[in-house]
Amino acid sequence: MDNNRPRVFPTPEQIAAANQTGEQIAQEQEQTITSGQVLPGEAAAAEEMARRTAEQLRLREVALKQAELDNQQLNNKEVTYSSPVSSPMQNIQKSVTTNNDYLLSELSQPQMNQPYDIIPLPSDGKLYRNKKGKVKLSYLTAADENILTSPNLLESGDFLEILINRKLLEPDLRYKDLLPGDRDAIMIWLRSTGYGEIYPVTVLDENDKPFETEVDLSSLKFKKLPIEPDGEGLFAFQLPVSKSVVKFKLLTIGEIDELEKLAEYLKEQNNLINIENTLLLQNQIVEVNGNRDKDYISDFVDNMRILDSKKLKECISNVTCGVDMNVTFGTPGGGSVTRFLPFTLKFFWPDFEL
């Protein structure tokens, strides 16, 4: 609050001084009346004056106390409603954040006016609301290369989300709605049609010595869902010990990202206990014995027998779909090794020198 603001109401010191002066005047008048130094008529007039003076003092005291109360209430309101003044730097940072969000949103808009192809998804769309087993994808263009070569977008980790959202021509299916396996299939298609199907990699031979080779991305096969989901895209599993029947879902990229952020936060709050296993199951399980209450499911997971938990996680791990990234490579010595396909900078930046 501004100390230079003019004070409309009297201070407590001013109120006390006024009261003291009034009381002194009243006492002096009373002493004059009772001393007998005035005539009877004058005494009566003086007594009436003293009474009126006392009443005026009483009313003034009441008014002063009310003024003091109003002053306190005004000060309290100023403290309550006064908002901190944003510094110029805070305003600039807020403006930059807003502008960045707007730019990222604009960059992520589907490029509907471009040529496209229709490609199948490993999940066959069985776990999405629209049930689309095939999606429209537009080809990489020179404008997309601006995204691929932007250091700021690469460092932020947003470039793949922006790129896929631009190329995926399905308004009701965005990057964060995708299953990881479908995301991988789209990513490989974009690379194959943009820079070619041959992808140079470095892998380890039988003796763990690195050698350079190539992968034909068009030769990679899809892994389909091993079992059929129900109409809601859920899978049922009976726990071997408790015999409870649980229904679970496969998490989308957006759900996985949120869980990773939550797990990181909880880890910072408590470094002694790792709750990632139970946190993951609590979000994968949708129903337990027909009950879908989230608090009930959370308690159920916390108290699940360890063998039940182990078997359920094995089941969920097996119910996957995507691209089979296990590739068999011929080695320089004439043998062969099977390795998981490595993703390096040469995947989207084939001219980059490692």
pLDDT tens-digit profile of 234-288? 999 999 999 999 999 999 999 999 998 888 888 777 766 667 888 999 999 999 9
Can you say how many angstroms the Cα of residue 4 is from the centroid of all Cα atoms in its chain? 43
Residue 325 lies in a domain: no
Using DSSP bridges, classify how beta strands 326-330 and 336-340 pair: parallel, antiparallel or unpaired: antiparallel
Contact by Cβ (8 Å): 123, 181: yes
Q: What is the mean pLDDT of the chain?
A: 80
Task: Tell whether 103 and 49 lie within a shared domain.
Answer: no
- Rounded Cα–Cα distance for residues 122 and 319 (Å): 12
Residue 1 lies in a domain: no
Task: Tell whether 101 and 167 lie within a shared domain.
Answer: yes
Residue 127 lies in a domain: yes
Task: Tell whether 56 and 100 lie within a shared domain.
Answer: no
Task: Tell whether 66 and 110 lie within a shared domain.
Answer: no
Task: For 210-269, give the DSSP string.
Answer: EEEEEEEGGGPPEE--SS---TTS-EEEE-TTT--EEEE-PPPHHHHHHHHHHHHHHHHH
- Nearest of 181, 187, 188 to residue 124 by alpha carbon: 181
Lowest mean pLDDT among 98-102, 120-124, 152-156, 313-317: 98-102
In this model, does residue 293 exceed pLDDT 60?
A: yes
Residue 88 lies in a domain: no
In this model, does residue 51 exceed pLDDT 90?
A: no
Task: Tell whether 200 and 162 lie within a shared domain.
Answer: yes
Task: Tell whether 100 and 123 lie within a shared domain.
Answer: yes
Contact by Cβ (8 Å): 228, 254: no
- Rounded Cα–Cα distance for residues 132 and 124 (Å): 7
Task: Tell whether 111 and 148 lie within a shared domain.
Answer: yes
If you search the block for the tokens 């140079």, which residue do you land on?
A: 200
* Boundary-marking domain end, from 26, 54, 80: 80
pTM recorded for the entire structure? 0.69
- Residue partners of 348: CB distance under 8 A and separation at least 6: 148, 191, 195
- Rounded Cα–Cα distance for residues 309 and 278 (Å): 9
Partnered with residue 199 across adjacent β-strands are: 215
In this model, does residue 96 exceed pLDDT 50?
A: no
If you search the block for the tokens 């009930």, which residue do you land on?
A: 296
SS3 171: coil
Mean of pLDDT values over 306-320: 96
Partnered with residue 351 across adjacent β-strands are: none
In this model, does residue 107 exceed pLDDT 90?
A: no
pLDDT given at position 266:
81
Partnered with residue 210 across adjacent β-strands are: 204
Task: Tell whether 200 and 241 lie within a shared domain.
Answer: no
Task: Tell whether 99 and 198 lie within a shared domain.
Answer: yes
Count of C-beta atoms within a 10 Å radius of residue 127: 21
Residue 327 lies in a domain: no
Contact by Cβ (8 Å): 44, 29: no
Residue 89 lies in a domain: no
In this model, does residue 146 exceed pLDDT 90?
A: no
Give the residue, 18 or 105, on which the prediction is more confident. Answer: 105
* Boundary-marking domain end, from 160, 182, 213: 213
* Boundary-marking domain end, from 55, 80, 105: 80
- Residue partners of 12: CB distance under 8 A and separation at least 6: 68
Mean of pLDDT values over 173-179: 95
pLDDT given at position 263:
84
Domain total of the chain: 3
Task: Tell whether 198 and 123 lie within a shared domain.
Answer: yes
In this model, does residue 97 exceed pLDDT 50?
A: no
In this model, does residue 89 exceed pLDDT 60?
A: no
Q: Which domain holds residue 168?
A: 95-213
Residue 352 lies in a domain: no
- Residue partners of 47: CB distance under 8 A and separation at least 6: 33
Q: Six-digit token pair at 261?
A: 């952020």
Task: Tell whether 162 and 188 lie within a shared domain.
Answer: yes
Residue 282 lies in a domain: yes
Q: What is the dihedral of CA 105, 106, 108, 110, to 10 degrees?
A: 130
Task: Tell whether 130 and 162 lie within a shared domain.
Answer: yes
